[in-house]
Amino acid sequence: MPAFFIELFSEEIPARMQARAADELSRLVAEALKPLNPRDDRRFYGPRRIALALELDAAVPETKISERGPRTSAPEQALAGFLRKHGASKDDLRQEGDFWVLEKSSPAIAAAGLIASAMPGLLRRFSWPKSMRWGGTSSFTWVRPLRRIVCLLDGDVVPFDLANPSGEAGGDNGHGIASGNLTEGHRFHHPGAVEVSSAATWEATLRARHVIADQTERRAKIEAGVTDVALASGYTVVPDSGLIDEVTGLVEWPVPLVGRIDAAFMDLPPEVMQVSMRVNQRYFALRRLDATPAPAFAFVANIAAHDGGKAIIAGNERVLRARFADARHFWDLDRKTKLADRVAALEKVTYHARLGSQRERVRRIEHLAGAIATLIGADVTQAKRAALLAKADLTTGMVGEFPELQGVMGGYYAAHHDEHAAVAAAIRDHYSPRGADDEVPDAPVTVAVALADKLDQLTAFFAIGEKPTGSGDPFALRRAALGVIRIIRLGGFRIPLRGLVQAHVAQVADSLRSIGAAPVADAAQLAEDVLDFIADRLRVQLRTEGARHDVLTAVFAAGADDDLTRVLARTDALAAMLGTDDGLNLLAAYKRAANILRIEEKKDGPHNGAVDAALLEAEEERVLASTLRLTGPAIHDLLTGEDYAGAMTAMAQLRAPLDPFFDRVTVNAPQPALRSNRLRLLHQLRAVMDRAADFSRIES
């Protein structure tokens, strides 16, 4: 099994593009070399290279085709289509009776030949988010200037170049980049070319020249190294998996180091320090063992300096001082103006071109937060005050420099100007949860503002027709819906969402009218669309958790219940019952009854009248009717009292009379009166069970 290896060596590739590029290379090569059965691929990526190693068959075997084609009397177009399908000509045909027969053979193709012919076109259609041309009039594009191509098959160079068929140069030297066996090590430690003969020698050769080619190993070395240098200084690292990934794409030979932060900057908010270090410099924030911010930072150099990194550390400390001086300027300047005095400036901050300003949005959120506060027992005045000030930090210099800090800075500025602690906390956390791993707010005032913010976001964008489609969700509406769900689920809040959203639709409609936008066409339908979207996100979340999302669908279908806490409690109780033998058999009996009713009601239904006790001839139907008379009201009362476990226990009692009923009673009796009465009995059974859920929607 020949071993194939290709490396594409270029100037620095942006870290965010490297993994995708390695996947793209693997995909394109697999497609181009599919006849060679590529397998066992291994992908590499880093700052200056992407590479791929895999195994192939030695050749595409010889093929022979013998296939009967159109009749000899068929139209010329039919014959032409047959030949085109097989890439054949009339010379490959012979006549056999009334038919043309194609006989064609293709010689074996050596792997090296197929690779050499496929690679130039493959690299020319390689897709980058952004690419560039260089080298005069070259039409070849790459993310950065491409310098070398290593292409080997069992140690031998597979020759090709990137000059296009017309002879135009494809590279920066005017002669086209050609494949070879030369790569380069670390830019500073080992400049210049070096020969390699396989993926293994390539990896070992690079390691000897201060390049760790395997990104997984490089990442692990960075993570462990940063942790070690931090511990050696008496600190721990603030977890930041995304930053580790990014740094992995920035360095080839990671050397973790620790620098000091001037004491003059240690009174800055820790979030400001962390974001400034991360965004501007790719530094790791450190903590003392008591979790307070440490007067130090960690970073990863791409060179093993002769002085142990002293000059590099000093340079990075100098850069960080300048960054923190800028942050200090914003921090001091922003605190001179109260958040309340900034609210008017939100009139000039556009929320969305079709939804008006942030000031208009704040009016809606303030009204909605007050309504939610009433429902959950939060202080209404504090909730409305927090909502009024929640977006004011968008006008500050700090948030203008670091948008990631919106909300956080508002909380600091509110506290600085003696706003109530609950108000400051709500401003700080009202965007939460921002993602699946983010903490969910539980303070009542914060919950009111956070829910108002997300429900307004959903309602407003639905009002202008900006609903998520497919994988596209430019306004993060799925995240907003999941935020609503997580807050309500984890807090156990009892919120009638339908009435809340319906009232808020009127607020959104007023906003649209005030800015001269198109009016809301159907307010009632808009509210239902928002609720359906939230319900759909809840189903997705349950599916992700491995829970019975089909049971949730059945519960939703049983009635227009908009209290998520109540719906989930009913769903859990029903799922628990369905996990028992009684529950499974009851579900089967329900579906059998529903199928009979569906068929018979098409003939002469509906069969929804009262059951006539005088027509109950069989003991089994009398027992079932008696059980329904007892359990029906009990189930209704238990559901009304929200004793869902009790309701399911009562419903499970139906299983005992149902089995003998279906075994011994003929529903479609020849006597019309008996048949009609038994169908009404099944209708009553279905109606009793449908009070809890639409069992027809539950998967067997």
Contact 293, 237 (CB under 8 A): no
Chain position carrying tokens 């009465």: 677
What are the Cα distances from residue 585, in Å, to 187, 580, 595, 662?
A: 71, 9, 15, 12
pLDDT mean over 268-291 = 96
Q: What percent of the chain has pLDDT over 70?
A: 98
Question: Which pLDDT tens digit goes with each residue over 194-250?
Answer: 999 999 999 999 999 999 999 999 999 999 999 999 999 999 999 999 999 999 999
| pLDDT tens-place string over residues 464-477 | 999 998 888 999 99
Provide the residue type at 396 as one letter. T
Take residue 237 and report the two structure tokens written for it: 């690292």
Beta bridge pairs of residue 60: 109
Phi, psi of 59 (to 5 degrees): -165, 160
How is residue 66 annotated by DSSP?
E
Q: Which pair of structure tokens corresponds to residue 145?
A: 């200037």
Q: Are 466 and 512 in contact (CB under 8 A)?
A: no
Give tens-digit pLDDT for 648-695.
999 999 999 999 999 999 999 999 999 999 999 999 999 999 999 999
- The confidence band for 49, taking pLDDT boundaries of 50, 70 and 90, is very high
pLDDT tens digits for 102-159? 887 778 889 999 999 999 999 999 999 999 987 655 678 999 999 999 999 999 999 9
Q: Give the residue carrying structure tokens 């009553």.
A: 684
Q: Which two tokens stand for residue 343?
A: 């609210």
Residue range 263-285: mean pLDDT, rounded = 96
Res 581 pLDDT > 60: yes
pLDDT for the residue 167: 42
For residue 384, pLDDT over 70 is answered with yes
Give residue 560's pLDDT.
Answer: 74
Which residue is associated with the tokens 């181009």? 32
Mean pLDDT of 160-171: 59
Mean pLDDT of 396-422: 97
DSSP state of 159: -
Among the residues of 335-357, which ranges form H helices? 339-342
198: Cβ–Cβ under 8 A, 6 or more apart, which residues? 3, 5, 152, 155
Q: Tell me: the pLDDT tens digits for 595-641? A: 999 999 999 989 998 999 999 999 999 999 999 999 999 999 999 99
pLDDT of res. 605: 82
Whether residue 433 is preceded by a cis peptide bond, meaning omega within 30 degrees of 0, is yes
Q: Mean of the per-residue pLDDT values for the chain? A: 93
User: Rounded CA gap, 657 and 628, in Å?
Assistant: 10
pLDDT value at residue 378: 98
Given a cut of 60, whether residue 386 has pLDDT beyond it is yes
Rg (CA), the chain: 35
CA 21/CA 145 separation, integer angstroms: 15
- What is the SS3 assignment for 630-695? HHHHHHHHHHHCCCHHHHHHHHHCCHHHHHHHHHHCCCCCCCHHHHHHHHHHHHHHHHHHHCCCCH
The CATH architecture to which 3-58+111-208 belongs is 2-Layer Sandwich (3.30)
Confidence of residue 166 (pLDDT cuts 50, 70, 90): very low
For residue 332 the two structure tokens come to 């001091």
Taking residues 78-94, report their average pLDDT. Answer: 84
What pLDDT sits at residue 516? Answer: 86
Mean pLDDT across the stretch 174-183? Answer: 81
pLDDT tens per residue, range 292-341: 999 999 999 999 999 999 999 999 999 999 999 999 999 999 999 999 99
* Global pTM value: 0.84
Query: CA-to-CA distance for 607 and 680, rounded, in angstroms?
Result: 5
Which tens digits make up the pLDDT trace of 486-506? 999 999 999 999 999 999 999
Q: What class does CATH assign to 350-546?
A: mainly alpha
> In this predicted structure, what is the pLDDT of residue 174?
37
In degrees to the nearest 10, what's the CA dihedral of 59, 60, 62, 63? Answer: 170
pLDDT average, residue stretch 31-48:
95
CA pair distance 324, 267, nearest whole angstrom: 11
Q: What is the pLDDT of residues 509-557, one digit of tens each?
A: 999 998 888 888 888 999 999 999 999 999 999 988 888 889 999 999 8
CA angle, 150 then 40 then 215, to 5°: 60
Pairing of strands 3-10, 146-153: antiparallel
Which sign, positive or negative, has the C-alpha torsion 219, 224, 227, 229?
A: negative
572-697: CATH number: 1.10.730.10
Does 442 have pLDDT greater than 80? yes
pLDDT at residue 221, as a whole number: 98
Domain ranges (residues) in the chain: 3-58+111-208, 63-106, 216-334, 350-546, 572-697
